[in-house]
């Protein structure tokens, strides 16, 4: 079995089946992408607004957008590392000296947070395509030791669509070790009848265990060998990722664990408790790599000579209500929503949207939790989506 270190060595600074070659991404003018240059200029300007002012939406941000195989906007603003700590008495960040700050660049890796769920979902659909996993298979058939979920007949489809009835999360971070965390997860039963939508990190954690059981490989290896390596996403991997943008000065009571200022290690406390590789969080990546991921899905599962999914199974990902992906959510997609756009957000400030109707994609990476988490605010994300939608010719 390939090791975790083997998977990591290709990312953070350190083959898919073949079909007809799909065009690779290239940087080019808005006109070549079929985008209005004036309107797209407003999107580029809005990227800088994300990090402006005394209390910016994010310390640092990278915005990358395009249409077809063309990247027409790639802008970075603010700081990958700006603060040494957070001062709760003044409710402000303690800024580093200017010489010690690290500017954000278009190549800065960020903690993807819940965008990790999209990779877990693609890994699951790959197994569905290969016939090793059924959409309506009961997880108890694979994981009988997950007694509570098995007793309720939870299925793979319910995990992928967040309709299992499992609650949003568990305090795995309070367990003394990963064995205790696993025992807590195995004993967790749905809190409502399966069928109704209830967004839950636990769905992707159970799905991770299903995938690892049926393949005999860990999730990090599945993502590397099935998605990032064939697509050439060399900057995408589970952490640690020392060059990543900083996230939070994580301390109680506002956080769930006392870990200090985080950089290059996963922000999510449960993913941290599980060793950094989790179905719901843990991946680090760059905007360029995520653009490749978007492009491959928009092209029916292929990028260059690599193929990670067949077109029918890409369509399955985006068939309502969506498998892992969120569909047509104006709250963070803006006017890109409404035609079948798919995407997701991450708690650290990340998001991606791909719109098959216009063949456009939008990637936003930011560290909104640096130096401390705040209530989510999707309005800047929605603004970017609207500006890209209006730029489409």
pLDDT at 127 exceeding the cut of 80: yes
User: Does the pLDDT value for residue 109 go beyond 80?
Assistant: yes
**Residue with more model confidence, 4 or 106:** 106
- Amino acid 5: pLDDT: 41
Q: Residues near 261 by Cβ (< 8 Å), separated by ≥ 6?
A: 83, 84, 85, 246, 248, 249, 250, 371
For 242, which DSSP code? T
pLDDT the model gives residue 17 = 35
How far apart CA 70 and CA 30 sit, in angstroms, is 8
Q: How confident is the model at residue 21 (pLDDT cuts 50, 70, 90)?
A: low
Q: Domains for the chain: give ranges and CATH numbers.
A: 4-391 (3.40.710.10)
Phi-psi region of 283 (alpha: psi -120 to 50; beta: other; left: phi over 0): beta
Give the whole-angstrom CA distance, residue 230 versus residue 224. Answer: 8
Query: DSSP per residue over 73-93, as a string?
Result: EEEEEEEEE-EEEEETTTTEE
3-state secondary structure of 366: strand
Rounded-to-integer distance, Cα 276 and Cα 261, Å = 16
Q: For residue 136, what pLDDT band results from cuts at 50, 70 and 90?
A: very high
- What are the C-alpha distances in Å from 329 to residues 246, 332, 343, 352? 28, 6, 8, 12
Tell me what the mean pLDDT of segment 142-166 comes to.
96
Buried/exposed code over 354-377 (b: 16+ C-beta within 10 A; e: otherwise): bbbebbbbbbbbbbbbbbbbeeee
Q: Dump pLDDT digits (tens) for 332-366.
A: 999 999 999 999 999 999 999 999 999 999 999 99
User: How far is residue 275's CA from residue 324's CA, in Å, rounded to a whole number?
Assistant: 22
14-19-22 Cα angle (round to 5): 65
Six token digits for residue 202: 């636990």
pLDDT of 98 > 60? The answer is yes
pLDDT at 20: 54
- pLDDT value at residue 274: 95
Mean per-residue pLDDT over the chain, rounded: 94
pLDDT exceeds cutoff 60 at 2: no
What DSSP line would sit under 322-351, residue for residue? -SSSEES-HHHHGGGTTSS-EEEEETTTEE
Q: How far apart are the first and last CA of the chain?
A: 49
Asked if the model's pLDDT at residue 13 lies above 50, the reply is no
Tens-digit pLDDT profile for residues 47-84: 999 999 888 999 999 999 999 999 999 999 999 999 99
Q: In this predicted model, what pLDDT tens digit does every residue of 195-206 receive, in sequence order?
A: 899 999 999 999
């Amino acid at each position: 079995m390939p090791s975790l270190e083997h998977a990591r060595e290709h990312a953070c600074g350190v083959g898919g089946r073949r079909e007809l070659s799909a065009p690779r991404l290239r940087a080019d003018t808005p006109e070549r992408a079929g985008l209005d240059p004036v309107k797209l200029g407003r999107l580029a300007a809005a990227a800088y607004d994300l990090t402006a002012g005394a209390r910016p939406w994010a310390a640092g941000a990278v915005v990358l957008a395009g249409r077809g195989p063309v990247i027409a906007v790639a802008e970075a603003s603010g700081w990958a590392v700006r603060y040494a700590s957070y001062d709760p008495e003044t409710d402000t960040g303690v800024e580093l000296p200017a010489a010690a700050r690290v500017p954000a660049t278009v190549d800065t890796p960020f903690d993807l947070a819940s965008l990790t769920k999209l990779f877990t979902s693609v890994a699951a659909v790959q197994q569905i395509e290969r016939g090793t996993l059924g959409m309506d298979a009961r997880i108890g058939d694979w994981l009988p030791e997950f007694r509570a979920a098995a007793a309720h007949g939870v299925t793979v489809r319910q995990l992928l669509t967040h309709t299992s009835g499992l609650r949003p999360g568990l305090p795995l971070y309070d367990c003394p070790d990963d064995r205790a965390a696993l025992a807590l997860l195995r004993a967790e039963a749905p809190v409502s009848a399966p069928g109704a939508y209830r967004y839950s990190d636990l769905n992707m954690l159970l799905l991770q265990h299903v995938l690892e059981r049926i393949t005999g490989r860990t999730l990090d290896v599945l993502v590397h060998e099935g998605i990032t390596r064939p697509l050439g996403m060399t900057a995408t991997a589970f952490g640690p990722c020392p060059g990543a943008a900083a996230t939070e000065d994580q301390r109680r009571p506002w956080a769930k664990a006392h870990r200090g200022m985080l950089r290059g290690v996963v922000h999510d406390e449960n993913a941290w408790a599980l060793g950094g590789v989790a179905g719901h969080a843990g991946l680090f990546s760059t905007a360029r790599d995520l653009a490749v991921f978007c492009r491959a899905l928009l092209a029916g599962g292929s990028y260059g000579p690599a193929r990670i999914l067949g077109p029918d199974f890409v369509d399955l990902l985006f068939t309502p209500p969506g498998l892992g992906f969120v569909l047509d959510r104006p709250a963070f997609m803006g006017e890109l929503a409404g035609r079948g756009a798919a995407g997701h957000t991450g708690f650290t400030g990340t998001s991606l949207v791909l719109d098959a109707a216009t063949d456009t994609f939008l990637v936003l990476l930011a560290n909104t939790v640096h130096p401390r988490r705040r209530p989510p605010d999707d309005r800047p994300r929605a603004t970017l989506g609207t500006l890209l939608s209006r730029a489409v010719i």
